[in-house]
Structure 1
Amino acid sequence: MRRVVLRGFSTEGGPRPDRTALLSLGLVVLFAPLAALSLLPLLWPLRLAGVPLSLGYTVWACSAGLYGLRPVQLALARLLWPVRRPTAAERERLDLVWSRVLRRAAVSERRFRIWVVDLADVNAHCVGRDLICVTTGALAELGDRELAGVLAHELGHHLRMHTAAAAFLVWVLLPLQALALLGSGLALPFARLGRHLRRTERGFGARRWALIAAGRLEAGLRLAFAAPGVVAFAVKNAAGREAEYQVDAYAVDLGFGAELLSALRWFEACAAPAAVAPLVPGPRRARHAAAREARPTHPPLERRMAAIIARLDAAPAAVPPQGRGRGRSESSRTLLP
């Protein structure tokens, strides 16, 4: 297995972009002209209706600034996940764990918010520039120290502005996804023609050549319109994988490396295998704090664990055992040697 080295960064101070966030912002600048060009077929009908193209592009540009607003971020979170405010009991536990993480990071408790997602999966993810979402499955299954390791990981994403920068990149890439959908629509008649010819085609006559032509036209249209988005999201996902190593290093340097490693081991031992995710993400896909199988934006779990162990410079047996649920970490079964 290839050895992965975690690169650390300062554990003090407020949010500031690291090289992964700067790469995402650089991709925003790089793909913005292509995104603007992709919008042209979508805005042209408005142009024929008398609406100037400049107005459409202005609205598109101004929409990026809306993402920085807290109500917009929360609305997007509610659109994608069943997110809610924590109950009194959940708030009491989260405040206890979260305050430990923030004290180590020297960050104000008012800077970030934690909400709960009603999902049985053991997950956590970031939204916008100050929101962290924790699933009810994570609250039910993870011990307090393991939960602290996961929250330290997510805090690293916010402090290094990974989520905010990636959100602006996704905003730029939305026109490329729309362009891919347009290509699929244009290819649909050729797909239907191919299905019809496939039912009636016999031998190698004219219908056979028409079937081949229809198939190639369909594939060509889909490829031509989808290629820019596929390339852009491949670069974005590569940056996301690098970000996971960086925030793992942050959790280790903050003093929660053993806790995060224990949470990842718990997930590896108990969680069901994750389904293969598409290269271009769809709705209702949480940003997982731990993924058992490789995902587009997450490296393989075993590589992350090996890198954390190497940074801790300790044997796996030295990791403190963690139980399930609040207040049971010492008496519950351990998943560690």
Structure 2
Amino acid sequence: MAQRESTGSGHGPRPDKTALLCLGMVLLFSPLAALCLLPVLLLLSCTGVPLWLGYGVWALSACLYGLRPVQLALARLLWPVRHPFPAEQQRLDVVWAEVLGRAAVSERRFRIWVVDLADVNAHCVGRDLICVTTGALAELGDRELAGVLAHELGHHLRMHTAAAAFLVWVLLPLQAVALIGTGFGVPLAAFAGWLSGFEFAPGIKRAALLALSRLETAVRAGFAAPGMLAFAVKNAASRRAEYQVDAYAVDLGFGAELLSALRWFEACAPPAAAQPLVPGPRRARHAAVRVPRPTHPPLERRMARIAARVAACAAAEDTLLP
């Protein structure tokens, strides 16, 4: 595909509607998150820590995420991330230079590091870090790698990752409340298991077990409801963001390359179980597979949209030819 003119991203990262939605949700859910923190901070206040100091530390911890050292520390905590080896760096420099050239973006603004994982994948961290797995470097050709990097660059230029990270940080107290609800549900489940071992009137026993099961579900759902609502909106915004940056990669002239990479994912990636709506404290790993995840639309739908946009761009170019 012929190289296109700059899409206007040379002005630097700017939040789009998806990023602004996440930041708006930060303001919306901050009071609820603060309320969830209140019991813990009240306990701390008994030791002499004032409430304003506890809330100040919480707010400051969210603001610290914008600092490069903090982002890098979190990346190292979640993934086996490292600087590229010389051979990897040489290849990445060539591919990345072409992507940045079409986007009219300064090379100094973003960094690419490598994650020692066999999964074929790439993802953004913070404001300026892109992580590429060793599996992606081994399996993808330069064309496909360029398409994937153009996609990730679109996330950074639209500030999707930074805004979503702030939102996740604010929602951590809501996740803690969901875990508390799970804890309250454990005794109910244990009591139901104990009761099922007794023999008495079948009708009464069945009704009692059903009531306990529904009560356990209600307790868990009641505590998890705020977090589930927040993450449902966040995940919907994330799915929209995937379509947006796919379109951005196409407009840069990497549509065929990105489509080729996604077809490779479709053909070769192993199936994966769907992730929970509210993330748990697990190691952060993901791969583009057939099974849709809460944060990603179905792979087939993404490829169909990319193919349609590539065809539309090609048709528009043909009409401009003499």
**Paired-residue identity, %:** 74
Deviation per CA, 1:224-255, whole angstroms, max 9, x where unpaired?
11111011111100000000000001101111
Change in 2 beyond 3 A, CA 1:186/1:52: farther
Match of 1:73 in 2: 71
Change in 2 beyond 3 A, CA 1:315/1:172: closer
2:123 match: secondary structure = strand
Match of 1:93 in 2: 91
Report the Cα distance in structure 2 between the residues aligned to 1:160 and 1:130, rounded to whole angstroms.
11
Report the Cα distance in structure 1 between the residues aligned to 2:15 and 2:106, rounded to whole angstroms.
18
Instruction: Figure out how many residues of one structure are paired with residues of the other and give that number.
Output: 307
Question: Residue 264 of structure 1: which of 258, 262, 265 is its match?
Answer: 262
Q: Does 1:284 align with 2:283?
A: yes
Report the Cα distance in structure 2 between the residues aligned to 1:205 and 1:294, rounded to whole angstroms.
41
Q: Is the 8 A contact 1:101 1:148 kept in 2?
A: yes
Match of 1:125 in 2: 123
Change in 2 beyond 3 A, CA 1:125/1:258: same
Report the Cα distance in structure 1 between the residues aligned to 2:214 and 2:267, rounded to whole angstroms.
46
Report the Cα distance in structure 1 between the residues aligned to 2:285 and 2:255, rounded to whole angstroms.
23
1:313 match: secondary structure = helix
2:276 match: secondary structure = coil
Match of 1:334 in 2: none
RMSD: 2.0
Question: Residue 139 of structure 2: which of 141, 158, 165 is its match?
Answer: 141
- Which residue type is aligned with residue 233 of structure 1? F
Deviation per CA, 1:136-184, whole angstroms, max 9, x where unpaired?
0000000001100000000000000000000001011100000111112
Match of 1:226 in 2: 224
- Indicate the structure with greater helix content: 2
Question: Residue 30 of structure 1: which of 21, 28, 31 is its match?
Answer: 28
Q: Is the 8 A contact 1:11 1:105 kept in 2?
A: yes
Query: Aligned-pair distance for 1:213?
Result: 4.5
Q: Is the 8 A contact 1:97 1:147 kept in 2?
A: yes
Q: Is the 8 A contact 1:73 1:128 kept in 2?
A: yes
Query: Aligned-pair distance for 1:106?
Result: 0.8
Query: Aligned-pair distance for 1:219?
Result: 2.2
Deviation per CA, 1:57-79, whole angstroms, max 9, x where unpaired?
11111101110111111111111
Match of 1:163 in 2: 161
Match of 2:318 in 1: none
Q: Does 1:110 align with 2:113?
A: no
Report the Cα distance in structure 1 between the residues aligned to 2:166 and 2:231, rounded to whole angstroms.
13
Match of 1:178 in 2: 176
2:167 match: secondary structure = helix
Q: Is the 8 A contact 1:123 1:138 kept in 2?
A: yes
- Which residue type is aligned with residue 283 of structure 2? R
Match of 2:237 in 1: 239
2:132 match: secondary structure = strand
For structure 2, the residue ranges without an aligned partner over 5 or more in a row are: 1-6, 315-322
1:126 match: secondary structure = strand
Change in 2 beyond 3 A, CA 1:212/1:314: closer
Q: Is the 8 A contact 1:86 1:116 kept in 2?
A: yes
Report the Cα distance in structure 1 between the residues aligned to 2:300 and 2:144, rounded to whole angstroms.
17
1:125 match: secondary structure = strand
Change in 2 beyond 3 A, CA 1:270/1:204: closer
Deviation per CA, 1:266-325, whole angstroms, max 9, x where unpaired?
11112222322111223323355x433211110011111111111111799xxxxxxxxx
- Which residue type is aligned with residue 170 of structure 1? V
Match of 1:63 in 2: 61
Q: Is the 8 A contact 1:201 1:208 kept in 2?
A: no
- Which residue type is aligned with residue 285 of structure 2? A
Match of 2:319 in 1: none
The equivalences for 1:182-221 within 5 A come to 182-204=180-202, 211-221=209-219
Report the Cα distance in structure 1 between the residues aligned to 2:179 and 2:201, rounded to whole angstroms.
34
Change in 2 beyond 3 A, CA 1:50/1:199: farther
When normalised by structure 1's length, the TM-score is 0.86
When normalised by structure 2's length, the TM-score is 0.90
Q: Is the 8 A contact 1:16 1:159 kept in 2?
A: yes
Q: Does 1:84 align with 2:94?
A: no
1:180 match: secondary structure = helix
Report the Cα distance in structure 2 between the residues aligned to 1:222 and 1:41, rounded to whole angstroms.
19
For structure 1, the residue ranges without an aligned partner over 5 or more in a row are: 1-8, 317-337
2:108 match: secondary structure = coil
Change in 2 beyond 3 A, CA 1:188/1:287: closer
- Which residue type is aligned with residue 270 of structure 1? C
Q: Is the 8 A contact 1:124 1:287 kept in 2?
A: no
Deviation per CA, 1:73-110, whole angstroms, max 9, x where unpaired?
11111111111111111111011101110111111111
Query: Aligned-pair distance for 1:41?
Result: 2.5
Q: Is the 8 A contact 1:11 1:253 kept in 2?
A: no
When structure 1 is superposed on structure 2, of 62-71 and 269-278 the one drifting more is 269-278
